[in-house]
Structure 1
Amino acid sequence: MKPLYSAEEMRALDKRAIEEARIPGLVLMENAGLKTFQIILEKTGGAAGMPVSVLCGKGNNGGDGFVVARHLQNHGAQVRVHLFAPIDAVSGDARAMLDAWMGMGGDLVDDVGDEQSMKDLAEDLADSEIVIDALLGTGLESEVRGAMADAIEMMNDTPGMIFALDIPSGISADTGHVMGTAVQADITCTYGGMKPGHWIEPGRAHCGEMFEIEISLPFEMLDAHQGSTYLLTPEDVWPGLFHRLPDAHKGNFGHLLAIAGSHGKSGAGVLASRAAHRIGAGLVTLAIPRGLESVVAPQSVETMTELLTENDEGGYGKGAGARLLEAASSCTAVLIGPGIPTDAASGEAVLELMKKCELPLVIDADGLNLLAKNSISPGKLASEQIVVTPHPGEMSRLSGFTTQEVQADRVGV
């Protein structure tokens, strides 16, 4: 799995690289800008003669922008930098890169924000084939307002290709939330490591194509990172699922008990069992009320069924909990929840299984609602390997946060 770094974690890694590994911050900044420039050349086919607008803030994200501007101009592009601060407000490594830009005679408009400078910016953006967003980066903590917000809206209307440095300005690196307004980038080049905001919507939709750039942070420091947020990629999953030896058989690839489907929601059971087969489960048994057999069996002929007695409400009848535990005893994993009956007796049967079953569990949908209704944390169940798959409403019921709070910080909650 791929680690995702919060803004604070990435700042700490940068600081360690500078203070402990003694890698100058200027080296990190130069690497970021140079490798971004190389991607720009790759994506545009060469920058010679192209009009380019680079929008910079006063911080290190702006410093990265000055580096990109310098390399683009060196290769024949017609570059103008628009700095949203007075020159004297830029300090540290960013100031060194600004001085290098001015030292090579780079075109600079500073203290952008008044009516005339914003008008000039709009004209430049309209003519630019390449636009570099180096306004805010990952340090954003409040909504974008004023001239920067107006500039972001202008960028989004430009016909040029937009390259965002580290993360599109206006996107929270930690939550993916749009902080007032945000750049809609065509390409995002992120430095050192991906952030949650690159992958959580709506941030993901604002990033366009993404490139992760290695800027010389020591791999040992990156590998030692013990964060709480990781990205599960196809490379983590597919090789193990689909590697099959010539003499392998279905018994080598696990047996799933799927507790899914009920009257009116039989399709949930069918789809869940089909999905299990599709990803490579050797055997799948679908536990359903007995009356659904004639509906479900023809739609998933490769799936075995565990038929449970029905009560007067169409849910699980007497002894269903024990029957589910017995069925689970011959399986290697259990799926609980999609479309299961929601009456009290059925809930008791499913809870009995969840409290006693030590197999790996995937809990979804009404399985999660059942836990929330009974104030049971997944961590209190017998299994030590549990995957929960809540949508925002289910996460709200599980966590006690409102749906709006969940959506605002899907990692933090």
Structure 2
Amino acid sequence: MKTVTSDQMRELDRLTIESGTPGKILMERAGEGATCHILEFISTLHPSHVRRFVILAGKGNNGGDAYVVARLLSEKTSLPVKIFSTCSSNELSGDAKLNAGRIPEGISCEFRSEMNKKDFSDGDIIIDGLLGTGISGLLRKPYKQWIEAVNASGKPVISLDIPSGLNGDDGSTAGAVIKADLTISIGLPKRGLFEGSGTESCGRLRHVDIGIPLKFTGKISSDIDAIFAQDMKHFLGRLEMNSHKGSRGHVLVIGGSRKYRGAPFLSGLSALRSGAGLATVATPENVHAVPKTLSLIVRKISDDGTGYFTASSLPELLGLIKKSDSLAIGPGMSDESSVKEMLLSAGNFEKPAVFDADALNIISKQPSIILKRKFPSVLTPHPGEMKRLLAGFGLAKLVDADRLLQARSLAEKTNSVIVLKGHRTVIASKKCTPAVNTSGSPALSTAGSGDVLSGMIASFIAQGFSPFAASVFAVFIHGLAGENGKFGNRGLIADDLPALIPVTMKKISPFA
């Protein structure tokens, strides 16, 4: 999905209205879609944290969206709704005034010149409809004080379209910015959500399609795509009824060592849970780890008694490679010198491969492993590994550059797909518009999460997706699976993730 500037979005709204869709219809669609996401969000919270909706409504269209949401929440739930407005209804105009007038009598609406912590109670869900994308310069009264009061409240906050105080073009702030737990993008996502302070201010991201015609969005230029659930549905079409294990792809995971025994099995299990028909885990023969999943094929590879891959591992690995459709190389592999020798010798195998973990550290010291490859490669570094790769490929000057530039530059240098992991994971390739992921949560900051992702990417490649498409899809599903865990942001572990993959895909498509 394209990302746009504030001016581009205003132009899209204008064209849509002029083509026959009234602004009040667009605002109603925005409110309906936002309400659905709000109800989904609160369903993940303990009931003690959901007792009242507090709606903060500004003067413009963002405030108008907030009035629609207030009315719909009152209709769809039994919870009380309270509106605090920065102005009286007489000061509103257009569609915002129309929707303020449609507020039911049972909803308390109060004009306030300032807010404080005492205005909020335990169990409040705050809906931020103060400011949209039209801000410029420093915040005027009363917005800065309201934003500071919300941030000090310690209550869950949901922002409509964009956190108030955030610049929709570059992610800069206007003196203060709402710290949201969920931001519901309306129309097309704004660039500022993915730049500057945007990444740390938005919380989770969701999107509402308000019906901007494709004939208008197709003409808008954009050099960054944002990945939302709507973009993922086409990946999960109907499977043929005569499918069999051989037709659904065979993933080979090469990893494990005396130091890290479980990582390759996480990758292998995740490959199966992502839809691969077969998954083989090749691990050194002196690594004594027993997988819990009996569906995995385990191959013990000669290791000269070391517990690490060595040059003597190569003949057996090459035999397994020939039988596979894609590879995941590196989970738990370690970077011992014998492993480096093996990877140097095996690097140019004729299969698409996902390189992760210690394989990346070896590649950063031996760039020829990637530069000599003739088959597709996907590199999946976290920020620390990315720094080492940038240095290894002569791009050290970009170590402190923004993540988009880092990923683009390394993709160009290595002719590979780069998956730069972290909050708002970036996927880049020489031939595709770079994509920024919108799913995920702090729950994924746990050991083994990356091993799960590498298995997922390899699985989707084995199922026939291009390396770039496989990476985009895997990253989104991986992030959403992290959001869906029942253990919250602190209790999820990587072992929980594989079982969440198919459940998450079923939310995206009826054919999953």
Range class of TM-score, shorter chain: 0.5 to 0.7
* TM-superposed deviation, 1:299: 4.7
Deviations 1:50-79 (A, max 9, x none): 99764437xxxx333246549979x99986
- Given candidates 347, 350, 354, the residue that maps to 2:343 is 350
- Given candidates 222, 234, 256, the residue that maps to 2:217 is 222
* TM-superposed deviation, 1:289: 2.1
SS at match of 2:335: coil
2:387 maps to 1:383: no
| Preserved CA contact (<8 Å) 1:257 1:331 | yes
1:308 matched residue in structure 2: 302
Residue type of the alignment partner of 1:339: G
**Residues 179 and 309 from structure 1, CA distance in 2 versus in 1: closer, same or farther, beyond 3 angstroms?**
farther
Structure 2 Cα separation of the partners of residues 305 and 143 of structure 1: 62
1:261 matched residue in structure 2: 256
Structure 2 Cα separation of the partners of residues 177 and 379 of structure 1: 38
Structure 1 Cα separation of the partners of residues 66 and 235 of structure 2: 37
2:351 maps to 1:359: yes
SS at match of 1:249: coil
2:86 maps to 1:82: yes
**Residues 54 and 367 from structure 1, CA distance in 2 versus in 1: closer, same or farther, beyond 3 angstroms?**
same
**Residues 372 and 122 from structure 1, CA distance in 2 versus in 1: closer, same or farther, beyond 3 angstroms?**
same
**Residues 316 and 193 from structure 1, CA distance in 2 versus in 1: closer, same or farther, beyond 3 angstroms?**
same
Q: CA RMSD in A?
A: 5.1
Structure 1 vs Structure 2: percent identity of aligned residues?
23
Residue type of the alignment partner of 1:63: N
Structure 1 Cα separation of the partners of residues 64 and 181 of structure 2: 20
Structure 1 Cα separation of the partners of residues 62 and 361 of structure 2: 47
**Residues 51 and 16 from structure 1, CA distance in 2 versus in 1: closer, same or farther, beyond 3 angstroms?**
closer
2:384 matched residue in structure 1: 393
**Number of aligned pairs?**
369
Structure 2 Cα separation of the partners of residues 51 and 291 of structure 1: 58
SS at match of 1:252: coil
Structure 2 Cα separation of the partners of residues 139 and 146 of structure 1: 16
* TM-superposed deviation, 1:6: 3.0
Deviations 1:279-334 (A, max 9, x none): 33223232222322xx23565543131513337x6433335445533431221111
Structure 1 Cα separation of the partners of residues 53 and 291 of structure 2: 63
**Residues 316 and 139 from structure 1, CA distance in 2 versus in 1: closer, same or farther, beyond 3 angstroms?**
farther
Structure 2: segments with no counterpart, 5+ residues: 40-51, 76-80, 103-108, 391-395, 404-421, 427-433, 437-512
SS at match of 2:301: strand
| Preserved CA contact (<8 Å) 1:170 1:179 | yes
Deviates more, 1:28-37 or 1:389-398: 28-37
**Residues 287 and 7 from structure 1, CA distance in 2 versus in 1: closer, same or farther, beyond 3 angstroms?**
same
Correspondences of 1:105-254 after superposition (within 5 Å): 117-118=113-114, 121-122=115-116, 125-126=119-120, 133-138=128-133, 148-156=143-151, 164-170=159-165, 182-185=177-180, 188-194=183-189, 197=193, 202-203=200-201, 205=203, 210=206, 212-214=208-210, 216-222=211-217, 227-231=223-227, 233=229, 235=233, 239=237, 243=239, 245=241, 248-254=243-249
Deviations 1:337-376 (A, max 9, x none): 101131233223223333x234221221112222223346
- Given candidates 270, 275, 289, the residue that maps to 2:270 is 275
**Residues 239 and 101 from structure 1, CA distance in 2 versus in 1: closer, same or farther, beyond 3 angstroms?**
closer
1:47 matched residue in structure 2: none
* TM-superposed deviation, 1:212: 0.7
- Given candidates 3, 6, 9, the residue that maps to 1:6 is 3
| Preserved CA contact (<8 Å) 1:261 1:339 | yes
Residue type of the alignment partner of 1:81: S
Structure 2 Cα separation of the partners of residues 38 and 300 of structure 1: 43
**Residues 6 and 124 from structure 1, CA distance in 2 versus in 1: closer, same or farther, beyond 3 angstroms?**
farther
Structure 1: segments with no counterpart, 5+ residues: 45-49, 88-93
2:320 matched residue in structure 1: 327
Structure 1 Cα separation of the partners of residues 202 and 369 of structure 2: 30
Structure 1 Cα separation of the partners of residues 370 and 175 of structure 2: 36
**Residues 409 and 331 from structure 1, CA distance in 2 versus in 1: closer, same or farther, beyond 3 angstroms?**
closer
Structure 2 Cα separation of the partners of residues 98 and 283 of structure 1: 56
1:291 matched residue in structure 2: 286
**TM-score normalised per structure 2:** 0.55
1:34 matched residue in structure 2: 28
**Residues 56 and 251 from structure 1, CA distance in 2 versus in 1: closer, same or farther, beyond 3 angstroms?**
same
| Preserved CA contact (<8 Å) 1:166 1:188 | yes
Residue type of the alignment partner of 1:205: G
| Preserved CA contact (<8 Å) 2:3 2:226 | no
| Preserved CA contact (<8 Å) 1:52 1:79 | yes
Give the greater-gyration-radius structure (CA): 1
Structure 1 Cα separation of the partners of residues 302 and 336 of structure 2: 15
Residue type of the alignment partner of 2:8: A
* TM-superposed deviation, 1:393: 1.9
| Preserved CA contact (<8 Å) 1:336 1:367 | yes
Structure 2 Cα separation of the partners of residues 217 and 142 of structure 1: 29
